[in-house]
Chain A
Amino acid sequence: MDVWISIILSICAASTPLLLAATGELVVERSGVLNLGVEGMMIMGAVAGFATAQVTGNPYLGALVAMGAGALFSLLFAFLTLTLVANQVATGLALTILGIGLSGMIGEGFVGRPGIRMEALDIPILTDLPIIGKLIFGQDLIFYISIALVFGVYWFLFKTRAGLTLRSVGDNHTSAHALGINVIKVRYLAVLFGGACAGLAGAHLSLVYVPQWVEGMTAGRGWIALALVVFASWRPGRVLVGAYLFGTVTIGQFHAQAIGIAIPAQFLTSLPYIATIVVLVLIARNRRMTMLNTPASLGQSFVPDR
């Protein structure tokens, strides 16, 4: 039994960064902006969080700074694509390339240092409950935030006026503008939110999941998060399902390697990436659902006329 609980816990740990980054990106894309820089913002969050925790000894402060770093970094993207109407695909790539380089430089002095782990909750009695104790009351803070975030984003997008405004900007920016909505401002806020989420996702990697600084440690998770948003057809609940599906594939692959299955480790390592492709194909085949949910202005620049 204990083995299974620890496996489930490790699935949660592997899924949390994907869930955070994908939920943030979902809000960004719902506002009509395609930010391909998730990987870059995530790794900036990872290095900022790790460095802060090392200097101050406080992993919670680290997570906070990571969110700030992710948001600040996303501001670069927002300025280029929203104010200067640069191509969103290319700018997102630039953000990723810059993030990987910059984080490598900042983190150089931290390579190999033992990490400071964000401790799991430990509530007397509750955490000691059999089976569910550890799962429900014994995880790290970021895990709870990630779950709360999904429900929060669902509520915001579909139950509040501000959420309706954001979706209208994503579906038809010209109409939204004509209604007096400040399209650029809404998009700036959405991009910043996505940046903060990606930053927190990075902090989870460097403060909980691994906890160390390894150059390029995001290893494509930002891109998988982007794929998850497509997989979820821009719905928060499905992001939750998708993230945990991928977390399960990742952990299953680790265990298969540990057991020593007669498949070369390299093939098992590529499984999550292959799974992403397969999932994208399966989703794309269902065109009706994709068409119905894709924000209609996704990826298009908007220049307000006065």
Chain B
Amino acid sequence: MRLELQKRAGASTLFSILSPFIALVLTLVAGAIMFVILGKPPFASLYSYFIEPLFLKFDMGPIFSDFSFEGIVPNGWSLEQILVKATPLALIAVGLAVCFRSGNWNIGAEGQYLIGGMFGAMIPVLFNDWNSPLTLPLVLIMGMLGGALYGFIPAILKSRFGTNEILTSLMLVYVAQQLVDWIVRGPWRDPKGMGFPGTKSFNESAVLPSLWQHADAHYGAVIAVVAAIAVWFMLAKTSKGFEITVLGQSPRAGRFAGFSAKNMTVFAFLFSGAMAGLAGISEVSGSVEKLDDKLSLGYGFTAIIVAFLGRLNPLGIVAAALVLALSYIGGEAAQISLGVSDRAARVFQGLLLFFVLACDTLIHYRVRLVAAVEAVA
């Protein structure tokens, strides 16, 4: 028995919609098997991973958050927390979708996210007393600028020298981690911070407001949705979107159409860098309200999975970001209720990407099982 692929005449519309869902189901099956191996009840485990967080303390999230439940109930597993985690994932992945579609492999979004957070923190850290309605917009713009500049490095190296952007963008992640680590322990450390690495807390005008009173969820979520719609529009309805698609699918055809692959590389990296930077500063200014050494949580890598699960479609990405955010929150919940390692969440995420890529084969090929008898060709 062996697998044989038969090219379809055209891409299958059915499977291009179904494939992410098939991948999700297969991931759950693989997860159940994993839990059996770990000696945990598979269905109860999956339930506490993926279903429980949807309802658990849902009532207490938005409605009762005015009561001070902190300290009694870990305020961690409600839908609101999913929103908090999904925000940076969606922002980064929407940028990556543009980049990947254009045939540029930016896998250093984590670095651009960090530098975005650092650049954005510059104003609130250095001019802590500056209170103005302009502060927040400027902080966000600085974040985007930082991410874009950091994304510009692999882009210019690729377009000028032909350097492999996969490797350079990834190497820059490690450099960014060290740079942020240095700045929060060195020059920007809050002298009153009891020796903990981290800057002064931002003043109010530099903080991205909460969605409702005392909420952890902040306006970054709104920005992410708006950005996703805008990018969807750009990709689907504008000539820039057409250029991106053509250059991504066939650089040769793009050249005949007069598009420049080099300029596209720079555009794609600047754009995805800016989006990652925006994610970084919205996390810093919306969630943490200062820059510290715990900003690098791997969102930049998880966003790659989000981008593929969303089939590089900005609207699909918003849904995919919620799914991946759920796996983070579920991981924390399952650790407490079942004693499953919270690393299991990462395993789920890795498996999911595998299955998404495998299922994408169904879009372009028919897969058949062939008995190995026909030896003579």
A277 pairs with B157, CB closer than 8 A: yes
Assembly CA distance A80 to B181 (angstroms): 37
Do the beta carbons of A98 and B343 come within 8 Å of each other?
no
Q: Mark B326-344, 1 if CB is under 8 A from A, else 0.
A: 0000000000000001011
Could you say which of A90, A99, A227 contacts B308, with CB atoms under 8 Å apart? A90
B107 within 8 A of A: yes
What residue of chain A has the Cβ atom nearest to residue B360's Cβ?
Answer: A86
Residues from chain A with Cβ under 8 Å of B345 in the complex: 101
Q: Which of A91, A266, A276 contacts B171 (CB 8 A)?
A: A276
Q: How far is the CB of A43 from chain B (nearest CB, A)?
A: 12
Contact status A280-B164, CB under 8 Å = yes
Q: Given the complex, which residues of A lie within 8 Å of B361, measured CB to CB? A: 84-86
Q: Is B32 an interface residue (CB 8 A)?
A: no
Mask: chain B, 355-377; 1 = CB below 8 Å from A; 0 = not: 00110110001010000000001
Known: A94-B357, A281-B163. A223 touches B171 (CB 8 A): yes
- Which residues on the A side are within 8 Å of B168 (C-beta)? 277, 280-281
Interface string of B242-257 (1 = CB under 8 A from A): 0000000000000000
Binds B, one of A4-12, A141-149, A254-262, A267-275: A267-275
Digitize A95-111: 1 where CB-to-B-CB distance is under 8 Å, 0 elsewhere: 10111111011001000
Q: Which of A80, A226, A277, A303 interacts with B354 by CB under 8 Å? A: A80
Nearest CB of chain A from residue B343's CB, rounded to whole Å:
4
Interchain CA distance A91-B353 in the complex, whole Å:
8
- Bound Cα distance A284, B164 (Å): 8
Smallest Cβ distance from B29 to chain A, in angstroms? Answer: 16
Whole-angstrom CA separation of A100 from B341 in the bound complex: 14
- In the complex, which of the residues A98, A104, A280 contacts B351, with contact meaning CB atoms closer than 8 Å? A98
Quick check: is B11 within 8 A (CB to CB) of the other chain? no
Q: Are A90 and B357 in contact (CB under 8 A)?
A: yes
Confirm or deny: A287 has a beta carbon within 8 angstroms of a beta carbon on chain B.
Answer: yes
Given contacts A267-B182, A285-B161, contact A93 B304 (CB under 8 A): yes
In the complex, per-residue mask of B9-39: 1 if CB is within 8 Å of any chain A CB, else 0: 0000000000000000000000000000000
Contact, CB under 8 Å: A303 / B5: yes
A83 within 8 A of B: yes
What residue of chain B has the Cβ atom nearest to residue A275's Cβ? B171
B349 within 8 A of A: yes
Is B236 in contact with chain A by the CB < 8 A criterion?
no
- Quick one: which of B7, B179, B349 contacts A270, CB cutoff 8 A? B179
Number of B positions contacting A (CB below 8 A): 46
Shortest beta-carbon distance from A226 to chain B in Å: 6
Closest residue on chain A to residue B344 by CB atoms:
A105
* Separation of A220 and B365 alpha carbons in the complex (Å): 35
B357 adjacent to A266 (CB under 8 Å): no
The interface residues of chain B lying within 8 Å CB-to-CB of A91 are 354, 357
Q: Smallest CB–CB gap between A213 and chain B, Å?
A: 13
- B217 close to chain A: CB less than 8 A: no
Decide if B301 is an interface residue (CB 8 Å cutoff).
yes
Among A86, A230, A281, A284, contact of B358 (Cβ-Cβ < 8 Å): A86
| Inter-subunit contact B350/A101 (CB<8 Å) | yes
Residue of B nearest to A40 (CB): B350
Contact of A303 among B7, B178, B377 (CB under 8 A): B7
Chain A residues with CB under 8 Å of B347's CB are: 98, 101-102, 105
* Contact A264 B186, beta carbon cutoff 8 Å: yes
Complex Cα gap A230–B170 (Å) = 15
B202 within 8 A of A: no
Chain A hits for B1, CB < 8 A: none
A89 near B: Cβ within 8 Å?
Answer: yes
- Name the interface residues of B162-187: CB closer than 8 Å to any CB of A: 162-164, 166-168, 170-172, 174-175, 178-179, 181-182, 186
Q: Quick check: is A76 within 8 A (CB to CB) of the other chain?
A: yes
- CB atoms of B157 and A104 under 8 A apart: no
Please name all residues of chain A whose beta carbon is closer than 8 Å to the beta carbon of B357 when the two chains form the complex. Answer: 80, 84, 86-87, 90-91, 94
Contact A269 B178, beta carbon cutoff 8 Å: yes
Within 8 Å of chain B (Cβ to Cβ): is A159? no
Q: Once bound together, how far apart are the Cα atoms of A280 and B168, in whole Å?
A: 8
For residue B346, CB closer than 8 A to chain A, the reply is yes
Within 8 Å of chain A (Cβ to Cβ): is B3? yes
Take A98-B351, A270-B174 as given contacts and tell me if A93 and B360 are in contact as well, using a CB distance cutoff of 8 Å. no
Query: What chain B residues lie within 8 Å of A89 (beta carbons)?
Result: 105, 166
Please name the residue on chain B nearest to A303 by beta carbon. Answer: B5
**B354 close to A98 (CB less than 8 A):** yes
Whether the Cβ atoms of B175 and A270 lie closer than 8 Å is yes
Q: Is B305 on the interface with A (CB-CB < 8 A)?
A: yes
**Does chain B have a CB within 8 A of A161?**
no
Rounded to whole angstroms, the CA-CA distance of A287 and B162 in the bound complex is 8
Report how far A269 CA is from B166 CA in the complex, Å. 21
* A36 proximal to B (CB < 8 A): yes
Q: Which residue of B lies closest to A285 (CB)?
A: B161
Known: A280-B163, A284-B162. A99 touches B350 (CB 8 A): yes
Are B353 and A277 closer than 8 Å at their CB atoms? no
In the bound assembly, the distance between CA atoms of A290 and B161 in angstroms comes to 12
16 inter-chain pairs at a CB distance below 8 angstroms, sorted by A residue, are A76-B354, A93-B353, A94-B305, A95-B350, A97-B305, A97-B349, A102-B347, A108-B343, A227-B164, A270-B179, A276-B167, A277-B168, A280-B164, A281-B157, A284-B157, A303-B7
| Ranked 6 nearest A-B pairs via Cβ | A98-B350, A101-B346, A266-B182, A266-B178, A94-B353, A104-B343
List the interface of chain A (C-beta within 8 A of B): 36, 76, 80, 83-87, 89-91, 93-95, 97-102, 104-105, 108, 219-220, 223-224, 226-227, 230, 264, 266-267, 269-270, 273-274, 276-277, 280-281, 284-285, 287, 290, 303, 306
Residues of B within 8 A of A (CB): 3, 5, 7, 105, 107, 157, 161-164, 166-168, 170-172, 174-175, 178-179, 181-182, 186, 301, 304-305, 308, 341, 343-351, 353-354, 357-358, 360-361, 365, 367, 377
**Given A80-B357, A87-B357, A226-B167, 13 other A-B residues pairs in contact with their CB atoms under 8 A:** A93-B304, A97-B304, A97-B305, A97-B350, A98-B350, A98-B354, A104-B343, A108-B341, A227-B164, A267-B182, A274-B171, A277-B157, A280-B167
